Amino acid sequence: MLSCMIQSCPMISNHKRATIVSKLVKIQLIMGLIATVALTAYRHSANTAFSGIAGLFLAIVPTVVYAKIAFANHLVAAPGVAFARHKKAMLSRFLLNLALFAIVLFLYKKCDYVALFATYFITLAGYWVSLVKS
């Protein structure tokens, strides 16, 4: 989705792309923090808070990695090069998501999975909110 929002206009400068990505991350961060605070207030547990922060982290880090890979080395006019970067960025994002979830699920045995996944999905909803706001 990030690529659809940003790559749809090839005339956008690198500064504009960085601004769009930072706005997306800011919206995701706000939504994830609100979800974490709400879940923590409802469950009254520090474990819920930590699980929510983990869900927030699991959603934002792959987004940032995607942006770094897809939009590295300035603008590209050739569609083939842009598509190759997009494929590389999506694969990296997917593999990073798998690795981060595996790390959290295997190492954090006391994880509040409701808080983890709720915060993760609410944070990912920031994509759609950012599309509406732009």
Of residues 12 and 109, more confidently modeled: 109
Q: How many helices (H) and strands (E) are present in the chain, helices listed first?
A: 6, 0
Residue listed under structure tokens 């504009």:
16
pLDDT tens per residue, range 54-76: 999 999 999 999 988 888 776 66
Q: What CA–CA distance (Å, rounded) separates 104 from 17?
A: 31
Residues 20-47 have pLDDT tens digits of 788 889 999 999 999 999 999 999 999 9
- Contacts for 97 with CB less than 8 Å, ≥ 6 apart: 58, 62
- Do the domain assignments include residue 4? no
- Residue 47, domain member (yes or no): yes
38: in domain: yes
Structural domain boundaries enclosing 87: 15-133
Number of domains the chain contains? 1
Residue 10, domain member (yes or no): no
Residue 121 lies in a domain: yes
